Amino acid sequence: MNGHIDGDSGGSSSSPAHSSAANHLTSHHSTTSQLTSLTSIYSEGRMINIEEEAKLVYGVVFSLRNFVRKLSGSQDGFVAYKTSNYKLHYYETPTGLKFVMNTDPSVESLRQILRQIYTNFYVEYVVKNPLSPSEHPAGEGVNNEYFKAAIDKFVKSLPSYES
């Protein structure tokens, strides 16, 4: 099993990556285990409730990751989930941090991009930050403006990003 799962959410989706443009990133999230959103995004003119979306994404990721692990026997098997409206890319660090990005369904795997976000930005701006515990207490997510700005700039520099 290759870890890519195609699914259909059955009907319209309120996913942040819903877009009529093909081959482009239309939104981005980078998350830790609390699935904290880094950007506010709009879909068809309405603000998406990021907290509710994070809960849904966490449930999908948790279920699919466990399903793929049982079928494949691999701890690193789940890398993406795709519907007709969006594709969810997933990367989990050896310590259990989870990074997720939603894109247009036609975007190729962003697993290495998520790994770069972890190694180049999360480690640099969060792990090495002596103020880190006060900036994001347990369960509150990452609240570091430099981290958010660096990821925003990085994602917008990707060839498949469309503003």
Higher pLDDT, 117 or 19: 117
Q: Which of 12-16, 60-64, 114-118 has the lowest mean pLDDT?
A: 12-16
pTM (2 d.p.): 0.62
Convert the pLDDT of each residue in 32-82 to its tens digit: 333 333 333 444 445 567 777 777 777 877 888 778 778 777 666 777 888
Residue 145, pLDDT above cutoff 50: yes
pLDDT at residue 11 in the model: 38
- CATH code, domain carrying 141: 3.30.450.70
- In this structure, is residue 50 part of a structural domain? yes
- In this structure, is residue 162 part of a structural domain? no
Helix (H, G, I), strand (E, B) or coil at 5: strand
DSSP 128: T
Q: Report DSSP letters for 80-127, one per residue.
A: EEE-SS-EEEEEE-TT--EEEEEE-TTSPP-HHHHHHIIIIIIIIIII
- In this structure, is residue 132 part of a structural domain? yes
Mean pLDDT of the chain: 70
Q: Alpha-carbon distance 48 to 53, whole Å?
A: 8
Q: Structural domain of residue 86, as residue ranges? A: 4-156
CB of 106 closer than 8 Å to CB of 162: no
Convert the pLDDT of each residue in 86-107 to its tens digit: 888 888 888 888 888 888 898 9
Structural domain count, the chain: 1
